[in-house]
Every structure is written in structure tokens, then in C-alpha cells.
Chain A
Amino acid sequence: MKPLSLTLKSLIPSTKFEGARDCAIEFRSFSKNAGFTGTRCAFTVVPNTLKGKAADGSEIELWPLWNRRQATKFNGVSYIVQRGAEAVYSADGQSQTQALIRFYLENAQIIRDQLTKAGLQVYGGVNAPYVWVQTPQGLSSWEFFDQLLQKNYVVGTPGSGFGAAGEGYFRISAFNSRANVEEAMRRLTSNL
């Protein structure tokens, strides 16, 4: 669900969809929108109308089970970190996180534009922090990974690492400084 929290235009949680309260659990985090990958804070939405089937065929609410699970095995997130997460919802926090999101999405736009210019077929990266690239000349995902690393000194993620259907694709992340993104794109467009 991480890309969802980055969406600028339509941040619509899945639980908005009709009937979602009865069939969905939503996992969200502050990692990308507020830069919390090292600070650590997330949340899970377990609607109290959500049910599962017990061995005797009866329908049981999942909320009490998750509540019990957390109370038994988890001590909660540190007070300091939760105060940091709370600040995301203040007026200043909202404008600052929006600025962060905008910055990364501009990086994604640069990556999309430059890779397209280099003759690559690209997907995504519009309301998401990742650009999904078709590997050129029928290279496998890992072959393209090795080529970019050895020739351009640029590291991405082989699409095949996310599953068999990701073979032949490559993921470029927009999470980096503007200077690094521009330099990486300069290397790719001049020497692919």
C-alpha cells in the first residue's frame, strides 16, 4: 500500500470502496509520505465488521483477535515516534509532507522523461514513486541490472525479483536527491 500514501491527486484508501469494511484489511505507513523509513511508524486498519470463519463454521469478528494478538505480542510504538507521526496531521506537517511528495514525484517525472528520451518504454511513475521500465533488446531483468551497474554505475531493482510476471521489467526508484537522479539519468541517456 506504500505507493497509495504518496498519491497526490487521489489519495483514496481502499476502505472507501463499498463493502470494503466487510472484506478488507488495510496496511499503511508513514515511510514514504513523511520519510519515516528509519523512524518507523505505520498503521493497520481492521474494521470491526470484518469476519472470518471458525472451525465450527461460525462467523467470528477479526478485530478482537487482532487486538488480542497485539496486546500479547506487541508493546506498541515509542511515545516519541507516535508524537512525530501525529505531527504529520498538523497544518505544518501537512504542507511539509506535501512538499516532500511533490519533490519525489518531480524526480519520477524526470526519470520518465529521460528514459523515454533514451528510447525505453516506461510505465507508472505518475502518482507513484517508482518507474517501471521495459528492459531493452529482450534483456532479462537481472542482465539489465548487471549492465546498468557495470556500465552506468546505477542500481535499480530487477522486476523478476517481484515475481515471474516482472521478468523483462526493471524498477527505478524516485527516492534520491535531485542531483543524483539527474546524474543517473545523464549517464543512462548518454550511454545505454
Chain B
Amino acid sequence: MATINNHYLKLKAGYLFPEIGRRVAAFAEAHPEAPIIKLGIGDVTEPLPEACRQAMTQAIAEMGDRNTFKGYGPEQGYGWLREKIAAQDFQARGCAIDASEIFISDGSKCDCGNILDILGDDNSIAVTDPVYPVYVDTHVMAGHTGASNDAGEYAGLTYLPINASNNFTATIPTQKIDLIYLCFPK
């Protein structure tokens, strides 16, 4: 029998948003008449901008024509998109970032997990607390932590509390930290 990645067994039961979904589904089933309004996960509700829809419609038309059809694209993303991001999001604001330094992907969550592929297993890691679960759980999965305690904190991670008592400003850790996540879900 093949073995599994035992680090997955350390993960706390129920990723946050599935647990919310479970409680909402149970309540909705018991009270089907309740008009529930969801202000939870933070998914957008308004339609895509017209400029984006027009561009994608045009792109679909190009895919339907042998002369403009596109197969595999560059893994890093198309140059024209990387150029625009570098110019307008960075260079226009005084940040010296070149298009070659921009990598297009299908989501920040994926990249946050994938980045661990190129980092070592022996880094000391700090996260702000509160933090999005993906920053912590990817390190648990990679075996960079010990088990979790009752408060849900994993051994081996440095947590930097951010709350009203410190005016939402983290204290700089005193020990040496190799990787620190700056992420503010509040």
C-alpha cells in the first residue's frame, strides 16, 4: 500500500470556510424559509467590467479562427499582460519592477502554496495573527510545523498578534525569522 503525507493529519478539522458552509447549510435545511444574507467568505457579487467581457469575447472569436488561434501559451503569462502590469501597477508608482519579474497565474492562493516548492524546509516562519488559513496550512502540509494546540496554533510557527490591544500593529519578533507573511484579512 502506498503511504500518505502524514503532515495532512495534523491539519485542524474543517478549513474555516467549509465549516461556515456546513453550519449555514444545516440551519438553512432546518429553516428553509429563512432569507439568509451571506457577508462571509468575501466573494464578489457585481458583474465583470464591460471592458473585460468585450476583451474576452474578442479573444474567443480569435480562438475560432485558424489564423489567430492560440495553443499553449508561455508558462509565465503573455508578455503583453506582464508589460501592462509592470508599467501601470508598478513603474507608474515609482516601483522598479520589470515585466520579466511578473508571473501570471490563476490565483494568489495557488501561488502562496506553490512558492514553498522553491524555499527550504528549515526556515523559521512568522505569520500575523489573524491571518488567512492558506499561509499557515501550506506550511503544515509541507511538514514545517508540529501539532496544533487547543487555540489552533501550530508548534514551530511564530504568531504575531494584531488586535485592538496593540492598535493592530504587530510587534517585531525578537528571534531571527527567515520568512514573514504580511497579510491582513481584517
Interface residues of B in 48-84 (CB under 8 A from A): 48-56, 58-60, 62-63, 70, 72-78, 80-82, 84
| Residue interface bits B28-57, CB-to-A below 8 A is 1, else 0 | 000000111111111111111111111110
Interface size grouping (class) on chain A: 35 or more
Residues B20 and A157 in contact, CB atoms below 8 Å apart: yes
Please list the residues of chain A having a beta carbon within 8 angstroms of any beta carbon in chain B: 1-3, 11-16, 21, 25, 27-29, 31-32, 34-37, 39-48, 52-53, 62-63, 65-67, 69-71, 73-90, 92-93, 96-97, 100, 103-104, 111, 121, 123-124, 128-130, 132, 134, 145-146, 149-150, 153-167, 169, 171-177, 180-181, 183-184, 187
Ranked nearest first, the 5 interchain pairs of A and B with the lowest CB-CB distance are: A162-B130, A163-B129, A96-B49, A161-B16, A87-B55
- Report chain B residues within 8 Å CB of A63: 101
Please list the residues of chain B having a beta carbon within 8 angstroms of any beta carbon in chain A: 16-17, 19-20, 23-24, 27, 34-56, 58-60, 62-63, 70, 72-78, 80-82, 84-85, 88-90, 93-98, 100-108, 110-112, 114-115, 117-120, 127-133, 136, 151-153, 159, 161-164, 168, 182-186
Give the distance in Å from the alpha carbon of A124 to the alpha carbon of B63 in the complex: 44
Residues B107 and A29 in contact, CB atoms below 8 Å apart: yes
